[in-house]
Amino acid sequence: MLNRILTLTAALMVTLGLAAQNPSQEEDLDLQYATTLLKAGSPAPDFTLNDLDGKPVTLSSFRGKTVVLVFWATWCPDCRKEVPDLKALYDKVDKKKVAFVSVSFDRSFDALKSFAKENALPGTQLFDPLGKKDSQVAASFGIHWIPSLYLIDKDGKVVIGTVVLDKIKKALAK
């Protein structure tokens, strides 16, 4: 009887240990919210949007650098909560090799500009006045949830598309 209890206890501990290492579908937000994002190896679609100074910026102008591409909006609580972690990540990377590009789906340019100034947002801030729902950029990247993030290699290929910033951090560390 004692052997059976020990065996069941050991099996339960192994199962719980594996569950802790491999999050369930409910715990992995990508399985819920990132299913439509571009897959690794896909070319990142090029686009042109205006920056906070009203100047057009194309994604392809960052070729030669790894790009952390963030889709977000100031009205999104999860997006706002992620800002300090993005800033911390930005502070750790080599700016000669890694660029941060954020695409805002705010409807108000003034709201974005004010938030960016107050929060010293890192990298290049771009404005998509069509909002997430009507944006051609969002559609081309499969964005249905924000924040959504991509890591794009120096050749313009997707390394990872995710809604989990920690996955970007880990991919950058490799």
Q: DSSP secondary structure string, 139-167?
A: HHHT--SSSEEEEE-TTSBEEEEES-HHH
**170: Cα within 13 Å, side-chain hemisphere:** 7
Q: What is the DSSP letter of 61?
A: G
What is the C-alpha separation between 140 and 36, in angstroms, rounded? 10
What is the C-alpha separation between 111 and 58, in angstroms, rounded? 22
CATH architecture for segment(s) 34-173: 3-Layer(aba) Sandwich (3.40)
Give residue 1's pLDDT.
52
Catalytic annotation on 79?
yes
What is the C-alpha separation between 51 and 157, in angstroms, rounded? 23
Low-confidence ranges of the chain (pLDDT < 70): 1-26
pTM comes to 0.84
Give residue 28's pLDDT.
87
What is the C-alpha separation between 162 and 150, in angstroms, rounded? 6
Of 121, 114, 112, 110, which Cα lies nearest the Cα of 83? Answer: 121
Domain positions in the chain:
1-27, 34-173
- Kindly tell me the burial class for residue 101, based on how many C-beta atoms sit within 10 Å of its own C-beta (0-12, 13-18, 19 or more): buried
Contact 71, 82 (CB under 8 A): no
Out of 79, 103, 151, 168, which one is annotated catalytic? 79
**pLDDT tens track for 113-162:** 999 999 999 999 999 999 999 999 999 999 999 999 999 999 999 999 99
Letter for the amino acid at 88? A
Give residue 174's pLDDT.
85
Tokens encoding 14: 């192994």
